[in-house]
Amino acid sequence: MLLLHLVRGRGRVRAISTKASLKISPFPHTFTLSLSSHTHSPMATEESLRKSLADKQSAVESQGNAVRALKASSAPKSQIDAAIETLNALKLEKSSLERSLHSILAGGGDTREAFRQSVVNTLERRLFYIPSFKIYRGVAGLFDYGPPGCAVKSNVLAFWRQHFVLEENMLEVDCPCVTPEVVLKASGHVDKFTDLMVKDEKTGTCYRADHLLKDFCNEKLQRDLTLSSDKAAELKHVLATLDDLSGEELGAKIKEYEITAPDTKNPLSDPYPFNLMFQTSIGPSGLSPGFMRPETAQGIFVNFKDLYYYNGNKLPFAAAQIGQAFRNEISPRQGLLRVREFTLAEIEHFVDPEDKSHPKYPEVADLEFLMFPREEQMTGQSAKKTCLGDAVSKGIVNNQTLGYFIGRVYLFLTRLGIDKERLRFRQHLANEMAHYAADCWDAEIECSYGWIECVGIADRSAYDLRAHTDKSGVPLVAAEKFSEPKEVEKLVITPIKKELGLAFKGNQRMVVEALEAMHEKEALDMKAALESKGELEFKVCTLDKTVTIKKNMVTIQKEKKKEHQRVFTPSVIEPSFGIGRIIYCLFEHTFYMRPSKAGDEQLNVFRFPSLVAPIKCTVFPLVQNQKYEEVAKLISKSLTAAGISQKIDITGTSIGKRYARTDELGVPFAITVDSTSSVTIRERDSKDQVRVDVEKAASVVKEVTEGQRTWEDVWSTFPHHSSTAADE
C-alpha cells in the first residue's frame, strides 16, 4: 500500500512503501519533504523568489528590446538568432521561477480543499450535520445535528462535565438565553460587541469589512506572481495588523486597493459598526428590550452573590454553564466554525486577586505541548514544545491558576481525540487583550481552514463583577476574615444624606449608593476636584445620567480603623469552549481513507475514540439465520443493559459492506455472530478480530469502551480470528 506525504506548503506528493492504510493528510505538520534544496524559511524563500522573478522580468524586457533593436538595424541573422536564443532562455528561467513561486503560494491549498470536501460530504451524507431548513434552501450560519452528530456532541459534553465540573467540584447553572438589555449594557456588549460592515452601494448586500480586506490580501499573495517583494511585505503587514485597524483605516485600505463587492463588483460603502446581538423585546408591550445572549458568562456573573453564599462564602470556587449562544454574523462561512447559533461551555473560576496559586497545579506542571508566546509571534518564530511549569515560573503564563486550566484544557482536547501535534496554545498579543485583562491564551486547533481558535482561557481580573456592581448597585464582593483585627488606613466616603435628599429627592438612594461604590482613585479625584472647584459632574449608572455633586454633599477622608476582614472584588479565570468548533476539528482529525480489499474504491473511516464515538458497538449475524439473529438480539440487549450504545443490523447485506458502513460512522467495535456459542469482536482501525464466548461479549466491549482494559489486552487474552470474507 502507499502512504501519501505532502510537502509542507508545496503541494507535492511522494509515495512511500508502508504497511499502513492509505491516508491523505493535508496538515502542514505532517508534511515530510522540502522543496528541492531550499533550506530557507517559507517566508524567506518567497521573498527571494519574488526578487529573483522581478529581476528576471527586467532581464526579459531588456533582452526583448535588444532583439527588436537588432532587427531594426538589420543586424546579421546569426547575431539576431543568438539574441533570440538568449531571450528564450531567460523566458524559460522566468517560467521556472513562476512555477516555484506558485508552488509555495499554493501551500497545499488544493489538497486541503479536496480533503475538506471528502470530510464534509461524508458528514452530510451520514447525517452528522446538515444545513438547517434545507427544503427551503437553508439559512447561512445555521445547521442541524443529525443522530450521529447529536451523539458525538452529547458524548463531548458528557466528558466536559466529567473532566471539569465533577473533577473540580464546580457549581453548574443554567440561565435563560433571553437577557435584559441592562445586563448587556453593563457588560459592554450593547456598545462594543460589533464588527465593521460594508454594503454593496447598489444591491445593499452586506459584507464584513475585515474579511474582504483579508481575502484580497490572501488572493494577491497566493495568485499574483508579479507582486513585488515590497508589495508582498506590505500586504503581509496588513494581515498581521488587521485586528488593530480602525473603521477609518479599514475604509482607507479598501479604497486604496480598490476592493469591490465580490458578487457584483459594485462600489462599497464606508465601514460602520454592526452589533452582532439578536435584539428582541421581553413581554407584549415592547417596553422591555432584551437580546439573545452572545455568551453564557453573564448569567454566572450576575448570580455571583448567591453562588458565593451557596459555596459557604469561600474562595476560590468555579461556576460552569453549558448552553446556546447567538451572534448575528455578517457573513457566516466555514461551516460549523462560524455560525449564528452555537453551543458554549464556559467556566468562571473566582479567585482572590492577591493569591492566584492553585493546589492542583503540580498535577499539570510537567505537561509539555506546543506554546506560542507573544514574543515568539512578534519575532516571526513558530510555536515550540514547552513545559507548562517552565512557562509559569518564567512569567510567560501570568499565574498558576491560569496555567492549571491551560493544562486541563490540553488534557481534555487530546483525550477527545484531537491530535496533540495540531494543537497549540497561543498567547494574545498586547493589542488583542482588553485593558483590564491580566493574560489571555487561545487553544488553537489546526484543520483544513488553518489554525482555529476553539477555547479561550483568560484572566479577566475583576472587570466583570465590578461592571455589574457599578450598574446594579449590588456589591459583588468576597471577604477574607482575619484571625485578629488589623489596623489599616482606609478611605472613608460619607455621603451627607440630608443635602443629597434636598438636591435629588426620590433619586437620593441611588446617588448615595453610587458614591459609596467609588473606587479609591475615583474618590480621591473627586475630593481634589471638590476642594479646588467646589463641585463636579458625576455619572450615576443606575440613573443613566450625570448629576452635579457639591462640596457639602459628601466627605472623603482617610482614617485609621481596625478591621476584622478584607472585602475585595474577586478576579476571574475564564476558560470558554466553542463546542461546535471542537467537534468539527475532531471530525477532521479522526477522518482517513483506506482502500477496499479489491483496491477499486476508497473507504471512509472516522477514528473516534470510544469516549466520543456516536455508537460504541454494532452487532451483526454473519448470515440471515434465525438462531444467529436470536443470539444477536440477546447480545444487543446485554449491551443496552450495560449502558453501551449499540446498533443491531440483521439485513442480508454482505458483512464487508456492513463493516464499511459502521467504520464510516466511527463505530469502534463490531460483534459478528457466526455461531450460537461464540462470536467475534472486530476492532475498527486494525480490523483485527478475536473470538469470545457469547456470555462474555457484552462485558468485554463494556470494559474496553470504558477504558477499563485496552484492545491490546483483549488481543493478547482471547483467540484470534481470521476471515478473508469479512475483510473489506
pLDDT tens, residue by residue, 668-724 = 999 999 999 999 999 999 999 999 999 999 999 999 999 999 999 999 999 998 865
Nearest in space to 643 (alpha carbons), one of 689, 705, 591: 705
CATH of the domain at 512: 3.30.720.200
The pLDDT tens digits for 175-197 are: 999 999 999 999 989 988 888 99
CATH of the domain at 75: 1.10.287
Structural domain of 81:
43-107
pLDDT for the residue numbered 429: 85
- Under 8 Å between Cβ of 477 and 466: no
* All three cell numbers of 170: 464546580
CATH of the domain at 676: 3.40.50.800
Same domain, 228 and 371: no
Residue 607 within a domain: no
Sign of CA dihedral 271, 277, 283, 284: positive
The pLDDT tens digits for 4-18 are: 322 223 232 222 233
Same domain, 292 and 362: yes
Same domain, 457 and 576: yes
Tell whether the model's pLDDT for residue 45 goes beyond 70: no
Same domain, 351 and 491: no
3-state helix, strand, coil in the chain (%, to 5): 40, 25, 30
573 or 245, higher pLDDT: 573
Nearest in space to 508 (alpha carbons), one of 536, 473, 475, 468: 473
pLDDT for the residue numbered 724: 53
Which SS3 state, helix, strand or coil, does residue 281 take? Answer: strand
Same domain, 416 and 554: no
Tell whether the model's pLDDT for residue 367 goes beyond 50: yes
CATH of the domain at 267: 3.30.40.230
Residue 608 within a domain: no
**Mean pLDDT, residues 16-28 taken together:** 34
Same domain, 500 and 454: no
Find residue 556's DSSP bridge partners: 493
What is the CB neighbour count within 10 angstroms for residue 509?
14
**Distance of alpha carbon 602 from alpha carbon 121, whole angstroms:** 14
* All three cell numbers of 192: 462594543
Same domain, 58 and 17: no
Residue at a domain's end among 275, 310, 343: 275
- Under 8 Å between Cβ of 680 and 595: no
State which amino acid sits at residue 578: G
The pLDDT tens digits for 369-395 are: 999 999 888 887 889 999 999 999 999
- Under 8 Å between Cβ of 535 and 551: yes
Same domain, 461 and 491: no
Residue 698 within a domain: yes
Residue 371 within a domain: yes
Residue 426 within a domain: yes
The number of residues making up the chain comes to 728
What is the CB neighbour count within 10 angstroms for residue 385?
11
- Using 50, 70 and 90 to split pLDDT, how confident is the model at 506? confident
Residue 483 within a domain: yes
* All three cell numbers of 570: 474577586
Same domain, 437 and 466: yes
Same domain, 589 and 440: yes
State which amino acid sits at residue 379: T
Separation in Å, CA 646 to CA 609, 610, 625, 703, 723: 15, 12, 20, 15, 23
pLDDT for the residue numbered 34: 28
pLDDT for the residue numbered 55: 83
Residue 129 within a domain: no
Same domain, 395 and 518: no
Residue 117 within a domain: no
Residue at a domain's end among 275, 303, 322: 275
Same domain, 168 and 290: yes
* All three cell numbers of 19: 504497511
What is the CB neighbour count within 10 angstroms for residue 487?
9
* All three cell numbers of 242: 488587521
Count of the separate structural domains present in the chain: 5
